[in-house]
Amino acid sequence: MQTALPFIDGQDVPVSVTYDNVDPADGSVIGAVARSGEAEVDRAVEAAAAAQPGWARTLTEHRADALQRLADLVDRDREQLALTESQDTGKPLSQARTDVTVAARYFRYYGRVIEAFYGQAIPIGPDLHVYTRREPFGVVGSVVAWNYPLQLASRSIAASLATGNAIVLKPADETPRTALALARLSVEAGIPAGAVNVVPGLGAEAGAALTAHPGVAHLGFVGSTQTGSAVAHAAAERVVPTVLELGGKSAQIVFADADLDRAADFGTRAILQNAGQTCSAGSRLVVHESVRQELVGKIAERFRTTRLGRGTDDPDLGPLVSAKQQDRVRGYVENAGSGEVVVGGSAPQDGALAEGAYWLPTLIDGVDPDSAIAQEEVFGPVLVTLPFSDEEEAVALANGTDYGLISAIWTRDLARAHRVAAQVEAGQIFVNTYGAGGGVELPFGGFKQSGYGREKGIEALAGFTQTKTVVISLA
């Protein structure tokens, strides 16, 4: 299979040092990935800096048309992109197809709304004309995670291009191929060579070089809180603005009057989607003690009937992204403490599944709220329950971690829903539904150690631009 090479200034760039891209379903080697380093990052930033001024001067209408064409090309290559995404990540093929649909939606959405993204006129007095301009930063650097590589690359590329920036994107070590495909499609769509550059490689090499590069004027990062802190420090050294979308330990608060079947359905999907490898996965079930046993039983039943298998066979649940991630999940489950493992709790041992990085859907009831498995991001198909007796305790448990990315409230009492939504510390609150990150239109980002800044929606365009105020005397 072809080596995943850097795509810089509209062409593949040979790199002599590579590493293996591993299929998480069975541990086999899919192909080689180039280990981009400082030289490749330098070249990519130079290409972006050369392309950006002309791209920024392109009429907004024409930039919008190019993004629409790129969306059409993503749709055209839907099956190949989905297959590649499934192979790289292990996710079921149907979920990978959904990711392709969302990727195309990013380019269409920002291709539409950018034409309505203006500065403002500020009325000061008859002798002054004051207005603001929204201007691009120039070269944007983006480092994205391995759990939704196509979606994450698309939302960064779409918003940065819409606002007139050029981008250098570093995909995750394990999942570089769909980002490279997007970069090639951008040129086919008529976007200038150099406006989109992708440098695959290791985080400690290509990622570190990109975040520290003096030619990068804005940084975006999606990944762990620990690495996000390092990116923020690198940005602070150069006083560069940063958007960080980091970890989560999202709570689903289920009150006694909730529709338990609906809560069980959404609760199951919220933790098993992408094998639980989602920053906004609903990994904590904060449930009223009067319905706890019933709800735990309903979710356990759904977990037991989940079909596991290779992502390209389109099961309910594919493997984790790597054996390393499987070991991480195992460590959390084996050290869960006093909680009762209701279902799962181990890797499958039968047949071909034993060769891959699989983990059984796991439900652990009644964990200690202060335990690691209740406080830290497991990033696997592991759901823990925390019982509560009243509303105040429910809010305290929901807010009782360092994270604040997303939360859900299940109740028929809308007054309670509004009241609790105002108290829960999270960037998105869902009531009687749940969306892992929500739709393309919904601003997405965290409170506390889940990061800062917002992606998605029109609000993301503000993050990719800087405001200039112009004051003209008419006297």
Question: What residues are labeled active site?
Answer: 245
Please indicate, yes or no, whether residues 363 and 305 belong to a single structural domain of this protein: yes
pLDDT tens per residue across all 475 residues of the chain: 789 999 999 999 999 999 999 999 999 999 999 999 999 999 999 999 999 999 999 999 999 999 999 999 999 999 999 999 999 999 999 999 999 999 999 999 999 999 999 999 999 999 999 999 999 999 999 999 999 999 999 999 999 999 999 999 999 999 999 999 999 999 999 999 999 999 999 999 999 999 999 999 999 999 999 999 999 999 999 999 999 999 999 999 999 999 999 999 999 999 999 999 999 999 999 999 999 999 999 999 999 999 999 999 999 999 999 999 999 999 999 999 889 999 999 999 988 899 999 999 999 999 999 999 999 999 999 999 999 999 999 999 999 999 999 999 999 999 999 999 999 999 999 999 998 656 899 999 999 999 999 999 999 999 999 999 999 999 8
Structure tokens at 259: 């529709």
Domain count, the chain: 2
CB 432 within 8 A of CB 259: yes
CATH number for the domain that contains residue 79: 3.40.605.10
Please indicate, yes or no, whether residues 192 and 82 belong to a single structural domain of this protein: yes
Please indicate, yes or no, whether residues 285 and 232 belong to a single structural domain of this protein: no
Please indicate, yes or no, whether residues 305 and 329 belong to a single structural domain of this protein: yes
- Residues in Cβ contact with 248 at an 8 Å cutoff, skipping those fewer than 6 apart: 279, 280, 281, 283, 377, 403, 404, 405, 406, 446, 450
Going by C-alpha positions, the residue among 217, 277, 67, 281 that lies closest to residue 154 is: 67
Domain hosting residue 134, numbered range? 7-246+451-471
> What order of strands is seen across the sheet that includes strand 128-136?
121-125, 128-136, 465-473
2 found inside a domain: no
Please indicate, yes or no, whether residues 50 and 127 belong to a single structural domain of this protein: yes
98 found inside a domain: yes
Please indicate, yes or no, whether residues 238 and 257 belong to a single structural domain of this protein: no
CATH number for the domain that contains residue 282: 3.40.309.10
Please indicate, yes or no, whether residues 240 and 255 belong to a single structural domain of this protein: no
Please indicate, yes or no, whether residues 120 and 213 belong to a single structural domain of this protein: yes
Q: Is the dihedral of CA 272, 278, 280, 284 positive or negative?
A: positive
Please compute Rg for the chain using Cα positions.
23
pTM beyond 0.85: the answer is yes
Please indicate, yes or no, whether residues 112 and 93 belong to a single structural domain of this protein: yes
Please indicate, yes or no, whether residues 205 and 267 belong to a single structural domain of this protein: no
40 found inside a domain: yes
445 found inside a domain: no
408 found inside a domain: yes
Please indicate, yes or no, whether residues 162 and 18 belong to a single structural domain of this protein: yes
444 found inside a domain: no
Please indicate, yes or no, whether residues 266 and 313 belong to a single structural domain of this protein: yes
